[in-house]
Structure 1
């Protein structure tokens, strides 16, 4: 988001205009601001009598930050979509982007879900791994290369995990 021009610049432009040093169009060029902005600040001064900008009002967040904090503390591997669903159940519907901003503003970090070393050697994971290896064994090597190239063409190289294997 663009930063607001300083009150000093506003004051200089309006003082120059009041002193008759040029039209708002000419002064906007001289001060390096848009013509629209020059007209806007001039109109604001006429209405309020002040050259200073009016601070923008920000609405307080609709999200209960403490609720989000408790949800993350109770389940550190919760993902944004799950947080969003929990808040929706409580009647607070927000986008994932806003949910990410709330988490960041609260200084929270979501932990990635991954299989921990102790879980890797479990019987269930051994069975899954063996089934995966068996499925790979059923695919001809030339098909693997073809499928990887096809994946790169469809999704781009950054989406292809492991790159192209030599044949």
Structure 2
């Protein structure tokens, strides 16, 4: 059964609040409210679609998996997961020969969380076309300042 979801900015920000554990605005739990996760994921997909990604790249964790599934389904692209083991960052899934990548996270928590994703996809010959997160953070601020990629987050409003 397909359900319609309001993806207005106001609805998305309300959904983000529903996904934020009480007293902790630094993280989300996308697993607790599937309807809110759908609203947020569809909003990000709507914003990312204009950059025509063929791949969504995420860290390999449950929150990112939920978000990546929704965004990739809505945009019509594939997901590649990235892991870090003993300081080595690598793709879990085989990358496409050529791809346009949207980097995605519920929240980029540290500068290296975004930088490592950028590095690994570029090392595989993929081109980053957008960076998106549900919750704004300092790494996103730095990405905006660099101006290399469009940065998408509900708190920043609609992408330009």
TM-score by length of 1: 0.22
Higher strand share: 2
Higher helix share: 1
TM-score by length of 2: 0.22
Mark the structure with the bigger radius of gyration.
1
User: Higher relative contact order by CA 8 Å / sep ≥ 6: 1 or 2?
Assistant: 2
